[in-house]
Chains A and B, each alone.
Chain A
Amino acid sequence: EDQVTQSPEALRLQEGESSSLNCSYTVSGLRGLFWYRQDPGKGPEFLFTLYSAGEEKEKERLKATLTKKESFLHITAPKPEDSATYLCAVQASNTGKLIFGQGTTLQVKP
C-alpha cells in the first residue's frame, strides 16, 4: 500500500536554528515527490518536485533532498515567516494519484 509518513508532527525552532523535516514513503513506482507549504486558512503552495534518488532542489532557505525511501526538507537559518505546515506527497506511477502525509507544523520564534 502506498504510504507517506512525516516527522516530526510539530517542530519549534528559534530564529536562525537550522533543522530538517523528514518524509518517509513507500510507493509502487515513484513518479514524483512533492513538497508544499500551507499557511493557516490557505491552500497548499507548491515548493518543490523531486523525481529520482540523489536529486536536490533549493529555494531561499529551503533545500529538499530525495533518497529511495525518504525525503528531507532542510531549513537553514529559519525566520519567523517560515512558520507554516509543510506537506509531503508522493505520486505513484501506476495510479498518478497524490498520497499526502499528515504534515509537519513548523513554528519559528524570533
Chain B
Amino acid sequence: NAGVTQTPKFRVLKTGQSMTLLCAQDMNHEYMYWYRQDPGMGLRLIHYSVGEGTTAKGEVPDGYNVSRLKKQNFLLGLESAAPSQTSVYFCASSMTSGPYTQYFGPGTRLTVL
C-alpha cells in the first residue's frame, strides 16, 4: 500500500514552459487535493476534486489547471510557468465521510527560472 505518490520529485522549468505533475493514490479515496507550500505562507489549496471527472477551484487557482480522468489519479498542469510558481507542491487525498483526514504525498519541488 503506497498511499499517495507524486511524480516527479524535482523539476526545473524556464519561464513560459509547461509541465504536468502527477498524483496517484491507492486508498480508493474519492477526494483529492493539490496544495502549494511556500515559506511563511503555509499550505494553500490550489484545486481539488470530489470525484472522478469533477474539479473545483481552491484558494490560489490562477495559472493552474487540473484533471481527474481516473479516480486514483489527479493531474496538476502549468500551461505557462512563471517564477511566482516556484514552490513545493503537495497532493493529498481523503474519504468522503468522517474522519475526513487528508493523507499527503511526498511533494514535488518546482523551480521556475
A49 to B42, Cβ gap below 8 A? Answer: no
Query: A43: which of B41, B42, B58, B90 is its contact (CB, 8 Å)?
Result: B90
Which A residue's beta carbon lies closest to that of B58? A97
Are A32 and B100 neighbours in the complex by a CB distance under 8 Å?
A: yes
B34 close to A (CB within 8 Å): no
The size class of the interface chain A forms with chain B is 20 to 34
Q: Mark A96-110, 1 if CB is under 8 A from B, else 0.
A: 111011110000000
Q: Is B103 in contact with chain A by the CB < 8 A criterion?
A: yes
Q: Complex: how many Å from CA A71 to CA B88?
A: 27
Q: Which residues of B contact A17 (CB under 8 A)?
A: none
Q: Mark B33-75, 1 if CB is under 8 A from A, else 0.
A: 0000000111111001000000000100000000000000000
Q: Which residues of A contact B104 (CB under 8 A)?
A: 36, 43-46
Contact B42 A44 (CB under 8 A): no
Which of B48, B58, B99, B107 is within 8 Å of A49, CB to CB? B99
Asked whether A34 is an interface residue with its Cβ less than 8 Å from the other chain, the reply is: yes
Within 8 Å CB of A49, what residues of B? 99-101
Complex contacts, B43 vs chain A, CB 8 Å = 44, 87, 89, 98, 100
Indicate with 1 or 0, residue by residue over B14-43, a CB within 8 angstroms of chain A CB atoms. Answer: 000000000000000000000000001111
Q: How many residues of B contact A (CB 8 A)?
A: 20
Given A31-B100, A32-B99, A102 and B40 touching (CB < 8 A)? yes
A22 touches B (CB below 8 Å) = no
| Any A CB within 8 A of the CB of B7 | no
Closest 9 CB pairs of A and B: A43-B104, A100-B43, A100-B42, A44-B104, A43-B106, A102-B42, A49-B99, A43-B107, A43-B105
- Can you name 23 A-B pairs with beta carbons within 8 Å? A31-B100, A32-B100, A34-B101, A36-B104, A43-B4, A43-B90, A43-B105, A43-B106, A44-B104, A45-B104, A46-B101, A46-B102, A46-B104, A49-B100, A49-B101, A51-B99, A89-B43, A91-B100, A97-B58, A98-B43, A100-B43, A100-B44, A102-B41
